[in-house]
A and B are shown apart, each in its own frame.
Chain A
Amino acid sequence: MDKVQVYKQPRLYIYTPWAGMKCTGCHIPIIERLIAEVIDDMGIEGQAIGIMGVGCHGAVFAMIDIDFMPVAHGRAAAVATGIKRVLPNAVVMTMQGDGDCAAIGAGPFLNAVHRAEKITVIMTNNAGFGTTGGQMAPTTLMGQVTPTTPRGRDPSSGYPAHIAELIAPVKGVAYSARGAVNSPANYQRTKKYLKSALQKQLDKVGFSFLEILSACPTDWRMSPLDSLKWMEEKMIPEFPVGEFKNVDRVG
């Protein structure tokens, strides 16, 4: 039987001690890989600048051979705005969690959306705050038990935030989609989404956004396999994967 290569490290992937600091079954390393492959495929590594939110995402772009900077909780879209306004030909991306982007960072994020900043925001949705221990985030599902919703999320804490759908109707948005990396099919689909999002930025169309569903077995108190099952049964029905906006002209 011929040897078949089933795994190859992406060319732009850089090993740092942070690589070993992910929990078992975490999807962030898969997302790192996906981003590294897309940057390589698109040939944009020389212009790319990655801005990371805090916590589990704090090292994502440090693992990829591009310029990078981690910034304060929720502020990545504002920092990306400053960079992009000075360097209109740079490819500026942020990597933020759902709490970072949709809770504490809702102000900078939504205003960057309204201003049609030519940046790409990548937001992972793991239905909770990762590094701090799985507390409720805007994306936490109804009934989901977390350390700050010990009896399950109920309407007194509102309802799950659908960020990709929320910003799609905004005039300045060129692209908005939600992907996942829970299966090879979804991985390939999400890769296409990220390429589309970054292409909108390269074409200077408008704001581009990609939400990626991401398993967090540690905070969900599940095995990696149970986490994949929970994603299929609970998370994806609530947060459908797909494109919500894809236009070549905004306004």
Chain B
Amino acid sequence: MSHRELMSGNEAVAVGAAAAGCSFYTGYPITPQNEITEWFARELPKRGGVFLQSESETGSIQILLGAAVTGVRAMTSTASMGWALMQEGISDMVAADLPCVIALVQRAGPGGGNIHNAQMDYLSATRGGGHGGYKNIVLAPDSVQECCDLTQLAFSLADKYCNPVIVLSDAVIGHMEESLEVKALDFGPVPPKDWALVGKANRKDGQRRGLNISRGSMPEPQNPNMTYLGHMEMLDRKFKAMAAAEVRYSTYQAADAKLVLVAYGSSARTCRKAVDLTRAKGLKVGLLRPITLWPFPSQSINEKAKQGAKFLVVEDSLGQLIDDVQMAVEGRAEVYLLGMLARHIAGPGGFIFPNRIVAEIEKLYG
């Protein structure tokens, strides 16, 4: 069963979460993601779920941790500086092997920045922004439909790996409206959550459970011999399994491209237009759009580099995604950046328009 609705990307994240069976949401107001929080406040109680406005993003993430501990599908959402405040709790949830989904709708930074569009949290999201060095799968939608579908995928991946999954959106994707096919995607059954804390009387075996953000520091009822390094081995296996199995990307006119644009989120949409404009002029230009920013589609980019392609990274920042592209090409190709300094105006809310990308392509194409 499905139907179509005109909807913003932010609302589509919430609709996708509900379709995935998310029954708990907590969040703190921050622009440009308020539509997500407000959707849950309006809709979740009607569907038997729990909405709770938190006192801060430091609070959101730890309240979310509490909900995740009980085994329900739970999420929060935030924008850039709220994301910064959540790092402690995200690290805790990785350490405790807890699934959850966090939608990050990027705004401009650093510091207070401004409430308008930007893509400046790429490195923080993909490198495990908190302490201790960890990995989260990061999904980057570039349409309202993907906001809905990737949020559903995020819940499935979070449960599969018992790890937080990030949906990395931005102010443009969050606020634009498109026709959305509202449809629950089937990723198979939710894995059993025997580890969940629900009180031992509510468990078949009647035995207690214990979770820990410092695994190996004390005996765990279900893993009495767990050690610190034993847990690090588990995490290592988990991160490697995610890296091996979860790379996702899409290409546009890339098969014969001599110059490959690499972009995600709202910048990928502008790039598609730039590809059309330059293809019309006879230039062999294509787009490779990572859908998972971590794990990164390094192998596909490396293959393009081996075929002799050049790369132009287009991102609304001073250059973050470009680091991953440079690593992926292993010195085999030239990699250029068209970043936020190429915006059409100097004030907040400027854009890197397709004609600016076309001009850059023509300069580099050679």
A interface residues with partner B (beta carbon < 8 Å): 16-18, 45-49, 51, 58-59, 62, 65-72, 75, 78-87, 90-91, 107-108, 111
Q: Is the CB of B199 within 8 A of A78?
A: no
Q: Smallest CB–CB gap between A89 and chain B, Å?
A: 8
Q: Is the CB of A47 within 8 A of B199?
A: yes
Which residues in B have their C-beta under 8 angstroms from that of A80?
66
Which residues in A have their C-beta under 8 angstroms from that of B202?
46-47
Q: Is the CB of B63 within 8 A of A79?
A: yes
Q: Smallest CB–CB gap between B129 and chain A, Å?
A: 16
Q: In the complex where A69-B210, A72-B88 touch, is A62 in contact with B200 (Cβ < 8 A)? A: no
Which residues in B have their C-beta under 8 angstroms from that of A59?
218
Could you list 27 examples of A-B contacts with CB < 8 Å?
A: A45-B200, A45-B201, A46-B199, A46-B206, A49-B198, A58-B217, A65-B200, A65-B208, A67-B198, A67-B210, A68-B208, A69-B69, A70-B214, A70-B217, A75-B89, A75-B92, A78-B59, A78-B65, A79-B66, A82-B24, A82-B63, A82-B66, A82-B70, A82-B74, A86-B50, A86-B70, A107-B56
Which residues in A have their C-beta under 8 angstroms from that of B247?
none
Q: In the complex where A17-B219, A111-B55 touch, is A82 in contact with B210 (Cβ < 8 A)? A: no
Q: Smallest CB–CB gap between B162 and chain A, Å?
A: 15
Which residues in B have their C-beta under 8 angstroms from that of A111?
54-55, 59
Query: What's the Cα separation between A46 and B89 when bound, in Å?
Result: 28
Query: What's the Cα separation between A47 and B72 when bound, in Å?
Result: 17
Q: In the complex where A72-B213, A107-B55, A108-B55 touch, is A82 in contact with B199 (Cβ < 8 A)? A: no
Q: Is the CB of B199 within 8 A of A81?
A: no
Which residues in A have their C-beta under 8 angstroms from that of B59?
78, 107-108, 111
Q: Is the CB of B199 within 8 A of A90?
A: yes
Q: In the complex where A62-B210, A86-B70 touch, is A48 in contact with B55 (Cβ < 8 A)? A: no
Q: Report if B58 contacts A (CB, 8 A).
A: yes
Which residues in A have their C-beta under 8 angstroms from that of B62?
71-72, 75, 78-79, 82, 108
Q: In the complex where A81-B66, A86-B70, A107-B59 touch, is A72 in contact with B197 (Cβ < 8 A)? A: no
Q: Report if B211 contacts A (CB, 8 A).
A: yes
Chain A residue nearest to B58 (CB atoms) is: A107
Query: What's the Cα separation between A58 and B54 when bound, in Å?
Result: 25
Extra 16 A-B pairs, beta carbons < 8 Å, given A47-B202, A83-B66, A108-B62: A17-B219, A58-B218, A66-B200, A67-B199, A68-B211, A69-B197, A69-B212, A70-B213, A71-B213, A72-B92, A79-B62, A82-B74, A90-B199, A107-B58, A108-B55, A111-B59
Query: What's the Cα separation between A127 and B267 when bound, in Å?
Result: 55
Chain B residue nearest to A63 (CB atoms) is: B218
Q: Smallest CB–CB gap between A22 and chain B, Å?
A: 13
Query: What's the Cα separation between A48 and B201 when bound, in Å?
Result: 9
> Contact string, B150-168, partner A, CB cutoff 8 A, digits 1/0?
0000000000000000000
> Contact string, B93-134, partner A, CB cutoff 8 A, digits 1/0?
000100000000000000000000000000000000000000
Question: Within the complex, which residue of B24, B69, B198, B206 is in contact with A79, where a contact is CB–CB below 8 Å?
Answer: B69
Chain B residue nearest to A71 (CB atoms) is: B213
Query: What's the Cα separation between A45 and B201 when bound, in Å?
Result: 8
Q: Smallest CB–CB gap between A121 and chain B, Å?
A: 14
Chain B interface residue count, CB cutoff 8 Å, equals: 42
Q: Smallest CB–CB gap between A108 and chain B, Å?
A: 6
Q: Is the CB of A66 within 8 A of B213?
A: no
Which residues in B have their C-beta under 8 angstroms from that of A91?
199
Q: Smallest CB–CB gap between B131 and chain A, Å?
A: 10
Chain B positions 191-233 with a Cβ under 8 Å from a chain A Cβ: 197-202, 206, 208-214, 217-219
Q: Smallest CB–CB gap between B3 and chain A, Å?
A: 30
Residue from the set A47, A68, A86 with the largest chain B CB neighbour count within 10 Å? A86
Q: Is the CB of A82 within 8 A of B69?
A: yes
Q: Is the CB of A62 within 8 A of B218?
A: yes
Q: Smallest CB–CB gap between B236 and chain A, Å?
A: 23
Query: What's the Cα separation between A67 and B211 when bound, in Å?
Result: 8
Query: What's the Cα separation between A48 and B197 when bound, in Å?
Result: 10
Chain B residue nearest to A73 (CB atoms) is: B88
Q: Report if B68 contacts A (CB, 8 A).
A: yes
Which residues in A have their C-beta under 8 angstroms from that of B74?
82, 86
Query: What's the Cα separation between A90 and B72 when bound, in Å?
Result: 15
Which residues in B have their C-beta under 8 angstroms from that of A45?
200-201
Chain A residue nearest to B91 (CB atoms) is: A72
> Contact string, B64-83, partner A, CB cutoff 8 A, digits 1/0?
11111110101000000000
Q: Report if B26 contacts A (CB, 8 A).
A: yes
Chain A residue nearest to B63 (CB atoms) is: A82
Q: Smallest CB–CB gap between B210 and chain A, Å?
A: 5
Q: Is the CB of A78 within 8 A of B63?
A: yes
> Contact string, B163-180, partner A, CB cutoff 8 A, digits 1/0?
000000000000000000
Q: Smallest CB–CB gap between A18 and chain B, Å?
A: 6
Chain B residue nearest to A119 (CB atoms) is: B66
Which residues in B have their C-beta under 8 angstroms from that of A85?
24, 50, 52, 63, 66-67
Which residues in B have their C-beta under 8 angstroms from that of A107?
55-56, 58-59
Q: Smallest CB–CB gap between A184 and chain B, Å?
A: 30
Query: What's the Cα separation between A131 and B49 when bound, in Å?
Result: 40
Which residues in B have their C-beta under 8 angstroms from that of A16?
218-219
Q: Smallest CB–CB gap between B253 and chain A, Å?
A: 46
7 tightest A-B CB contacts, nearest first:
A82-B66, A46-B201, A78-B62, A111-B55, A79-B66, A82-B67, A82-B63
